[in-house]
Amino acid sequence: MEKELVIEKLITLKDNGQSGKGFYDKIVNKVVKLYNKVKGKKPKKQNHLKDGEKHAVFKDKDGALVAAKFAGPNTKTYENLKELIKENGGDLTKALQDKNFASLTDKEALIHDIRYDLYAGDTKKIREADEKFVKKIQEIRKKEGAFNTVPSIAGIKGKMIAEDLGIISKDKFSGQPRNIPKDERMLYEQVVEKLEQEGYGKLDRPIRPVREPDVPFGKKKCECGSIVRASGLTKHKKTDKHKQLIAKLNK
């Protein structure tokens, strides 16, 4: 039991930024293999992480561990999608069947990745994509449980909270508009349409607007109206600028 917990902890480990490229994928590929061997599990389909991919790990219906094809950073979305379609004789509908994904979270991650690519640079659309992601994964949690869903929910929720607090710039994640090659864009739009018909794109409430924080993280608003560093507030109050602004306000 304890051993199992240790392994489960290990595979949910996210890269801490200190490990080199290709470290996480190698570890996960090894751990997945070892775990299934020890447990006597044989996943119907295994996915090997490509160099640099930092994907989540899921448990399939039989309890075997399977590395995600799409969920996680450094996803080679287009490449992996084309691979999946090829495995299904070039048939997109076949490729997108639930049984081709170790977890429905991976399927939702695919459309989330695509929305990021299609809407890069559009803060509002990216927020909408994040909201749709969280809602769908919460639905999936009821079917598949916490193991396959909680890390993904926490990741995206954390990102949205950090953006609202001004800790991370929304631009950083909404990115620069990308010039997507025509073939890629057309395939992406087809996937979005198909998956949205399956319910991978519904929100039952209006999208929470991305809040522009009036006071960025680590700063404070003085009664004179100036935005200053939180640690520098006392010093600021002694400045002429502050005194002049207060005098103006009291006029």
Find where tokens 């919460």 sit.
Answer: 138
Alpha-carbon Rg for the chain in angstroms: 23
Interaction residues for Zn ion, span 129-188 (CB under 5 A) = none
Give least dist CB 217 to Zn ion, A.
19
Closest CB to Zn ion among 135 and 242? 242
Asked if residue 54 binds Zn ion (CB under 5 A), the reply is no
Find where tokens 């009036």 sit.
Answer: 214
Asked if residue 224 binds Zn ion (CB under 5 A), the reply is yes
DSSP 231: G
Closest CB to Zn ion among 169 and 244? 244
- Segment contacting Zn ion by CB under 5 A, of 14-22, 90-98, 203-211, 220-228: 220-228
Asked if residue 222 binds Zn ion (CB under 5 A), the reply is yes
Count of positions on this chain that bind Zn ion (CB under 5 A): 4
Give the total residue count for the chain: 251
Asked if residue 219 binds Zn ion (CB under 5 A), the reply is no
What pairs with residue 59 in β-bridges?
65
- Segment contacting Zn ion by CB under 5 A, of 26-34, 113-121, 199-207, 235-243: 235-243
Give the Cα separation of 250 and 178 in Å (integer). 51
- In this chain, which of 74, 88, 100, 226 binds Zn ion, going by CB under 5 A? 226
Give least dist CB 251 to Zn ion, A.
16
In sequence order, which residues have a C-beta less than 8 Å from that of residue 170 and are 6 or more positions away? 123, 126, 127, 163, 210
Give the CA distances from residue 5 to residues 35, 64, 154, 216, 230, in Å, rounded to whole numbers and listed in that order. 11, 15, 20, 40, 42
Give least dist CB 223 to Zn ion, A.
6
Let me know: does 74 contact 56? Beta carbons within 8 Å: no
Residues in touch with Zn ion (CB under 5 A) = 222, 224, 226, 242
